[in-house]
């Protein structure tokens, strides 16, 4: 009896709906987008530039026994000679032993700014000789990391007239004497 009732219901449903036609097949949903094309030549150029930078950096790195030395054109040669011989009074000192690169960079910048703001003329920074250093992020050889950091940062500052490794009695190649421009001469 259920089959006659099912057939009767189906016929009533088809009569109520009317004629039907099959639906078109729908297009499938879009798949995952294709990956963007890679700029392979740009990637190769970047890699080559990083490698060239690393080689240039390695060739200009200071070794443990190398002397730090720089003189701005504004400073007379005679004054620079006095700095080299350690004949200028050290007014303040910063010891970077035990600092990592980021901390040493922040300490050095703050120290130079403090010395400049307080009108100090000659200061000493102890960076160590770098005998126990390890290879840096861009180098494959051991190099005195803090010594090279100090050299690079001091060369970039307009308020530094000159710097030179300290005489042996004042720390030798493990320290640097820095001569700051007087307030009137600062750019």
Q: Which domains does the chain have, with CATH numbers?
A: 66-185 (3.30.1370.110)
Closest listed residue to residue 77, CA positions, set 146, 162, 178: 162
CA dihedral 86, 88, 91, 96 (to 10 degrees): -20
The model's pTM: 0.63
Mean predicted lDDT score pLDDT of the chain: 84
pLDDT at position 138? 42
* Residues of the chain predicted below pLDDT 70: 1-2, 53-60, 131-142, 184-187
- Residue-wise pLDDT for 91-142, tens only, equals 999 999 989 989 999 999 999 999 999 999 999 999 988 766 554 444 445 6
Compute the distance between CA of residue 109 and CA of residue 93 in angstroms, rounded to an integer.
13
Compute the distance between CA of residue 110 and CA of residue 23 in angstroms, rounded to an integer.
76
In percent, how much of the chain has pLDDT > 90? 42
CA dihedral 23, 27, 28, 31 (to 10 degrees): -160
pLDDT at position 23? 80
pLDDT at position 139? 45
């Amino acid at each position: 009896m259920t089959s006659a009732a099912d057939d009767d219901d189906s016929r009533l449903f088809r009569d109520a709906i009317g004629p039907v036609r099959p639906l078109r097949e729908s297009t499938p949903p879009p798949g995952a987008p294709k990956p963007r094309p890679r700029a392979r030549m740009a990637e190769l150029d970047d890699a080559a530039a990083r490698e060239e930078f690393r080689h240039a950096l390695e060739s200009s790195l200071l070794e443990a026994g190398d002397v730090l030395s720089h003189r701005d054109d504004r400073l007379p040669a005679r004054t620079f000679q006095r700095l080299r011989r350690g004949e200028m009074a050290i007014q303040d000192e910063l010891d970077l032993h035990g600092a990592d690169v980021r901390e040493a960079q922040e300490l050095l910048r703050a120290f130079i700014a403090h010395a400049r703001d307080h009108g100090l003329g000659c200061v000493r920074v102890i960076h160590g000789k770098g005998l126990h250093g390890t290879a840096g992020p861009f180098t494959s050889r051991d190099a005195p990391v803090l010594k090279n950091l100090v050299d690079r940062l001091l060369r970039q500052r307009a308020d530094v007239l000159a710097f030179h490794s300290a005489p042996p009695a004042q720390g030798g190649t493990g320290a640097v004497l820095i001569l700051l421009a007087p307030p009137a001469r600062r750019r």
